[in-house]
Amino acid sequence: MILSARGVHHSFGPVHALRGVDIDILPGEALAIMGPSGSGKSTLLHVLAGVIAADAGTVDFDGHRTSDMTEAERAQLRLREFGFVFQFGQLLPDLIAVDNVAVPLMLAGMGRREAEDAARAELDELGVGPIAGKYPGEMSGGEAQRVAVARALVSRPRVLFADEPTGSLDSLAAEQVMDVMTGVARDGGTTVVLVTHDPRTASYAQREVVVRDGQITTGAVLSEA
């Protein structure tokens, strides 16, 4: 397993968002986490990615118990090992596409020239090379989302976490984003954890689990056979 959670509980004040979730994720697979709005999908994604610490239970990533780590250790882990895509690209509005994608590389210590070359190559792979010089305000929703995927994948993360990545797109743009995102992730051996309530988006995954009222369907735990 690349990710495993056992007995995870999490509350926001009186709201018991996760009520004992067990889940396993295999290296290199694309897993869709489905379920109605408010069921706990985003909370589960955030716990798996170490964005929030669970109130109870364990989370393991690649043999490391991330649920025992400090906030700072989890932040380092996220920077090194994980990529994130959200519903709205959340690109930096004052930077052109290539600079948006180069930022995480430069934060990790890469020089500007090398980072921009890598960013351009990643934009090419995602089919948005021609808009490398555009600002987010000049892009369509689908273009902006592909740039966001390029930024998430450019540092070659082990796991890509995507939360409703097509939620703000029309169906054609959604298809293009899912095609390139899952294609590039597959080619790089990247594990994908995809939260969506849209069955068409989920169909890009190899496996689906369903969250309801903070609990997950049976079948989310795999045997290590």
Ligand X SMILES: Nc1ncnc2c1ncn2[C@@H]1O[C@H](COP(=O)(O)OP(=O)(O)O)[C@@H](O)[C@H]1O
- Site of interaction with ligand X (CB under 6 A): 12, 15, 17, 35, 37-43
Q: How far is the CB of 58 from ligand X (least distance, A)?
A: 19
By a kind-dependent CB cut-off of 5 to 8 A, residue 39 interacts, out of ligand X, Mg ion, none, with ligand X
By a kind-dependent CB cut-off of 5 to 8 A, residue 12 interacts, out of Mg ion, ligand X, none, with ligand X
Footprint on this chain of Mg ion (rule: CB under 5 A): 42
Q: Tell me how far apart the alpha carbons of residues 156 and 189 are, in angstroms, rounded to a whole number.
A: 9
By a kind-dependent CB cut-off of 5 to 8 A, residue 155 interacts, out of ligand X, Mg ion, none, with none
Q: Tell me how far apart the alpha carbons of residues 14 and 82 are, in angstroms, rounded to a whole number.
A: 30
Q: Which is nearer to Mg ion, 37 or 223 (CB)?
A: 37
Q: How far is the CB of 41 from ligand X (least distance, A)?
A: 3
Q: Which is nearer to ligand X, 167 or 183 (CB)?
A: 167
Q: How far is the CB of 138 from ligand X (least distance, A)?
A: 30
By a kind-dependent CB cut-off of 5 to 8 A, residue 43 interacts, out of ligand X, Mg ion, none, with ligand X
Residue in the block written with tokens 């897993």: 31
